[in-house]
Amino acid sequence: MIAKWEQARVEKVIMISWKLWCNRNEVRNGGVKKTGQAVFQGALDYLGEYQSSQAGEIMQKMKCPASWTPPPLNAYKINVDGAVFAANKSAGVGILIWDVGGRLIGACSRKLQLPLSAIEVEAKAIELELQFAKDMLIQDLMLESNSQILINALKEVSPPPMAVALLVYGSLSASHEFRKVAFSHVGRQGNRPAHLLAKHAFSIIDCSVWIEETPCFLEQALLHDVTVGLSS
């Protein structure tokens, strides 16, 4: 018990020290000096996200499907992912809508001119996915992401990280506008097409949308995933 307590204290001290060092560098490069409370809370949030992601990776290896699987009958599956373009202080979001036969109903690649963290862009992707589904007049859907932290939060299994709490609660509220919404976690390999769409956002200005057509750079990945998913 004592050893666990000491380890937890050491982790907090290391994380707070690292956050202080990061903010010092930010200030030296023209950034804003944060208050002690902001540094402390940011360190705890970051540590919590890291610990949750570590636990999520273990759960993923144990339970999470490694490949794409079709949605239930009379429903659509929507895969989402995000990508961070740190050097450009921007991010990308990828969204795909599939039917039960593995046919691509719609796809979207959107660039966000915001310096978002990985967890923030993943949460933003879910928010935009729900809006995209609404625009496509979809009422029954399964939302799938490779972020275990966010899926657990949307299932209300665990609270979301403070940095994305408003986005998560906003998405939960928006999900009530649909007839039926289920949340599902998938391994990164099973979310590869959505990730490719998110990365594609780097080369566009704002947004690209495909309706009932397949982007050429996705054809091979989609064919592989659908073949594996429908045969399993």
Predicted confidence (pLDDT) per residue in 186-196, tens digit:
888 888 899 99
With 0.85 as the threshold, say if the pTM is over it: no
Contact 194, 95 (CB under 8 A): yes
Alpha-carbon span 72 to 145, nearest angstrom: 16
Percent of the chain with pLDDT over 90: 46
Position 36 scores a pLDDT of 79
Which comes out higher in pLDDT, residue 218 or 50? 218
Amino acid at 87: A
Predicted confidence (pLDDT) per residue in 59-108, tens digit:
444 455 566 788 888 899 999 999 999 999 999 999 999 998 888 899 99
- Extract the tokens encoding 161: 């990280």
Contact 201, 83 (CB under 8 A): yes
Provide the Cα torsion 192, 195, 200, 201; round to 10°.
Answer: 160
50-54, 158-162, 194-198: least confident range:
50-54
In the predicted structure, residue 222 carries a pLDDT above the cut 90: no
Position 11 scores a pLDDT of 67
Query: What mean pLDDT is predicted for residues 15-41?
Result: 77
Predicted confidence (pLDDT) per residue in 109-156, tens digit:
999 999 999 999 999 999 999 999 999 999 999 999 999 999 999 998
What are 107's strand-pairing partners? 96, 210
Contact 194, 79 (CB under 8 A): yes
Alpha-carbon span 182 to 177, nearest angstrom: 13
Position 16 scores a pLDDT of 79
Position 120 scores a pLDDT of 93
Alpha-carbon span 157 to 150, nearest angstrom: 10
In the predicted structure, residue 197 carries a pLDDT above the cut 70: yes
Alpha-carbon span 195 to 212, nearest angstrom: 19
